[in-house]
Amino acid sequence: MTTLSVGAAQPPVAAKHPRKIEQHHEVRIDNYSWLREKTNPEVLDYLEAENRYTAAMMQSSEPLQQQLYREIVARIQETDLSVPTFYGGWFYYTRTETGKQYRIHCRKEGSLDAAEQILLDENSLAAGHNYFRIGDVEISPSQRLMAYSIDTEGDEVYTIHVKNLETGEVYADRIPGAHYGIEWAADNKTFFYTAVDAAKRPYKAFRHTLGETAADALVYHEPDERFNLSVLRSKDRAYLFLRLESSITSEYRILKADQPRGKFGVLYARRPDIRYSVEHHGRHFYIRTNDRAKNFRLVRVEEANPARTGWQDVLAASPGTYLEGIEMFCHHLVATERNGNGLRRLQVLDLDGGASHFIEFSEVAFTVAPAGNADFNSGTLRFRYTSLTTPLSVFDYNLTARTRELKKQYEVLGGYDPAHYQTERIYATSADGTRIPISLVYRKGLARDGANPTVLYGYGAYGMPSEPSFSSERLSLLDRGFVYAIGHIRGGSELGERWHDEGKMMSKKNTFRDFIACAEKLISARYTSREKLAIMGGSAGGLLVGATLNMRPDLFHAAVTRVPFVDVINTMSDVTLPLTAIEWEEWGNPIAGQKAYEYMKSYSPYDNVKATKYPMLLVTAGLNDPRVSYWEPAKWVAKLRATKTDGNLLLLKTNMGAGHFGASGRYERFREVAFDYAFLLKAMEPDQGGAVKTPR
């Protein structure tokens, strides 16, 4: 394999400070546990040394990085605006301006021809901060007030502020330590929010009333560390909800929005392995639940007497249909479903007794989802549609007339023509005989000769699907002859709850075997070869990459893994860390169960690094990451350096001022993408310098 730069730079060598860990009558030695000491100057020195080494080894690719960055920026409409959403007599939208990192939140009253009112300029708020992210922007029912939350560290802990939209005054009300989610009551002066504990779990809900000097009232405290707490409001604005969720169990507490000082009452008490969500319409609650329905069903029940005995099926359980969610309107209901091919579909139900129907889509692989449907009384569904070759498109669909109108397709500058690209849906066969979908995109005219550089992406966790969607950034790879593939592996939910169940807990290794099968399919079908195949994944997808590399290091030429979850045993045994207890129902509990411990240890990437040859590898981390602590990738890289037997490039790049999602500004994010792509291009085609192929 090639190196990216030649010179005197030597990789940092992390000191070994053996720590003995005794668990289930077994002793493990962790040589790099000391890297957890964030306040230790030696730790920061080590991370900075790794960053300097990465910069030195990537120095020869800097012209390519700049070229890629310019390409990516040149494809976007830098000054642009979103499709306005109508709510409460106003059209709300965001816009961007050339050269500015962040969005500007705006509205117009009554008509799109009305004068613009700027509600929030993120660029102004971000001034002086290395990191900036808006969590929530919530408008009061009167449209006079706005509650919004800000994170300036990247640790996903927010501070809530309130602005008077008529006077422009930002009130003195300032609430630190909040999580995602703010919901207004109907009185236009009260809102509810959640706060996080030491492990950054949202565990308490509070009521805040403007103008009151007393401490915010605690309305609920969730002591069970497996459960997250969030606040929601029904689409018709009639109810406030407290949602309590573990990975496999849920519970809702409800309160009428016009009674904000009332007490939240339990709708259905939690029962193990039973999940549900709630919407409200007229005199009924609509319940999406897996109670007696593996892939969920939709029932309706009287608001006045919501006992389970009164449930009436609206959408009955079907083994071949996975009900993902619903969008409620005054006269219609839209169900988001997945059928046997793993693709989403939208079913429209007429609540006034009319016939139901599906909204049709024709591409072989695509993703579609309702978005921006704030107005309960509307007869129009707004949805977003995209595919591997179709840029993000926003449609308005008339639910009665069954007609659609394209409101906006986000422009790809520079002459992008989807006719020059090909998308496919193929299947791999996993070790147990299961068929695994793969979505592909590449330039038309591609020769199936095994010589094409290819990136295989995967995630496969938490029941989260990997959607086949468009990326204008990705064109920089496709136009250089790359194939881009998505493995829809088990652990996601593309084919329903079974697909998730067969890739978690004591079945987690199916995820890795599926990914290996996808790689082998791409090779056997002559899209690529081992010498031209790279894999990519982030967070839980980084676990996927790490475990796969340990199982089949010979199968790949390069890998990119962003903020990877790789120190599985140590992290899942530490309840002081964010997400640990919450995720025992996804990965297993190695503290309580020896079988879970032994199974997790058998695939944990950090614990299974071995003396063998590994592909070229780029690893990223975020110093303030609350989801995957920076030390996981740092420890993994340190152990790989000390153990692997090859001279292939191994890079660790830590963002010293950000968290899980990397840089917050859009231009800085583009630079991160350009860096990753430069690594891949130079790894795959070092002699070509990443030249664009002649279109075929």
Is beta strand 558-562 parallel, antiparallel or unpaired with respect to 533-538?
Answer: parallel
CA atoms within 13 A on the CB side of 265: 9
Phi, psi of 61 (to 5 degrees): -95, 5
Phi, psi of 458 (to 5 degrees): -155, 160
- Compute the distance between CA of residue 381 and CA of residue 371 in angstroms, rounded to an integer: 8
Phi, psi of 222 (to 5 degrees): -100, 105
Tell me which residue of 693, 695, 694, 668 sits closest to 65, measured CA to CA.
668
Q: How confident is the model at residue 207 (pLDDT cuts 50, 70, 90)?
A: very high
The pLDDT score that the predictor gives to residue 687 is 52
Query: Cβ(264)–Cβ(255) under 8 Å?
Result: yes
Q: Which residue's structure tokens are 């992008």?
A: 416
pLDDT at 171 exceeding the cut of 80: yes
Tell me which residue of 58, 9, 2 sits closest to 647, measured CA to CA.
2
Q: Which residue's structure tokens are 């969008």?
A: 327
pLDDT at 354 exceeding the cut of 90: no
The pLDDT score that the predictor gives to residue 3 is 38
Q: Which residue's structure tokens are 């969920």?
A: 296
Q: Give the dihedral sign, CA 660/488/227/139.
A: positive
At 442, is the secondary structure helix, strand, or coil? Answer: strand
- Tokens linked to 529: 């070869």
Query: Cβ(182)–Cβ(191) under 8 Å?
Result: yes
What is the tens place of the pLDDT at every residue in 310-346? 999 999 999 899 999 999 999 999 999 998 889 999 9
- Tokens linked to 456: 């295989």
Catalytic residues: 539, 625, 660
- Tokens linked to 140: 């009061």
- Tokens linked to 163: 């602005």
- Compute the distance between CA of residue 488 and CA of residue 416 in angstroms, rounded to an integer: 27
Tell me which residue of 266, 288, 293 sits closest to 278, measured CA to CA.
288
Q: How confident is the model at residue 662 (pLDDT cuts 50, 70, 90)?
A: confident
CATH code, 128-274: 2.130.10.120
Is beta strand 558-562 parallel, antiparallel or unpaired with respect to 616-622?
Answer: parallel
Q: Which residue's structure tokens are 């602005």?
A: 163
**Domain extents in the chain:** 19-73+415-684, 128-274, 279-411
The pLDDT score that the predictor gives to residue 639 is 98
CATH class of the domain at 279-411: mainly beta
pLDDT at 7 exceeding the cut of 60: no
DSSP string, 141-177: TTSSEEEEEEESSSSS-EEEEEEETTT-PEEEEEEEE
The pLDDT score that the predictor gives to residue 685 is 75
pLDDT at 2 exceeding the cut of 80: no
The pLDDT score that the predictor gives to residue 621 is 97
pLDDT at 131 exceeding the cut of 80: yes
The pLDDT score that the predictor gives to residue 578 is 87
The pLDDT score that the predictor gives to residue 671 is 96
**Average pLDDT score over residue span 216-234:** 97
Q: Give the dihedral sign, CA 135/125/200/571.
A: positive
pLDDT at 393 exceeding the cut of 90: yes
Q: Give the dihedral sign, CA 359/365/370/372.
A: negative
The pLDDT score that the predictor gives to residue 616 is 98
What is the tens place of the pLDDT at every residue in 114-130? 999 999 999 999 999 99
pLDDT at 6 exceeding the cut of 80: no
- Mean of per-residue pLDDT scores for the chain: 95
Q: How far is CA 667 from the centre of its chain?
A: 20
pLDDT at 686 exceeding the cut of 70: no
**Average pLDDT score over residue span 96-104:** 97
- Determine whether domain 19-73+415-684 maps to CATH 3.40.50.1820: yes
Query: Cβ(166)–Cβ(140) under 8 Å?
Result: no
Q: How confident is the model at residue 694 (pLDDT cuts 50, 70, 90)?
A: very low
Q: What percent of the chain has pLDDT over 90?
A: 94
What is the tens place of the pLDDT at every residue in 396-425? 999 999 999 999 999 999 999 999 999 999
What is the tens place of the pLDDT at every residue in 600-630? 999 999 999 999 999 999 999 999 989 999 9
Q: How confident is the model at residue 9 (pLDDT cuts 50, 70, 90)?
A: confident
- Compute the distance between CA of residue 621 and CA of residue 634 in angstroms, rounded to an integer: 8
Q: For residue 480, what are the CA distances in angstroms to 24, 249, 448, 529, 696?
A: 51, 47, 15, 17, 11
- Compute the distance between CA of residue 52 and CA of residue 59 in angstroms, rounded to an integer: 10
Evaluate whether 128-274 and 279-411 have a shared fold. yes
- Compute the distance between CA of residue 519 and CA of residue 138 in angstroms, rounded to an integer: 44
Tell me which residue of 194, 112, 182, 104 sits closest to 145, measured CA to CA.
182
Phi, psi of 475 (to 5 degrees): -60, -25
The pLDDT score that the predictor gives to residue 377 is 97
- Tokens linked to 137: 């922007």
Query: Cβ(362)–Cβ(351) under 8 Å?
Result: no
| Amino acid making up residue 294 | K
Query: Cβ(255)–Cβ(262) under 8 Å?
Result: yes
What is the tens place of the pLDDT at every residue in 233-283? 999 999 999 999 999 999 999 999 999 999 999 999 999 999 999 999 999
Q: Which residue's structure tokens are 């063998």?
A: 612
- Compute the distance between CA of residue 279 and CA of residue 295 in angstroms, rounded to an integer: 18
- Compute the distance between CA of residue 188 and CA of residue 677 in angstroms, rounded to an integer: 48
The pLDDT score that the predictor gives to residue 691 is 52
Q: Is 458 exposed, middle or buried (0-12, 13-18, 19+ CB in 10 A)?
A: buried
The pLDDT score that the predictor gives to residue 470 is 98
- Compute the distance between CA of residue 40 and CA of residue 25 in angstroms, rounded to an integer: 31
What is the tens place of the pLDDT at every residue in 502-561? 999 999 999 999 999 999 999 999 999 999 999 999 999 999 999 999 999 999 999 999
Tell me which residue of 393, 335, 345, 380 sits closest to 85, measured CA to CA.
380
Tell me which residue of 516, 582, 511 sits closest to 554, measured CA to CA.
516
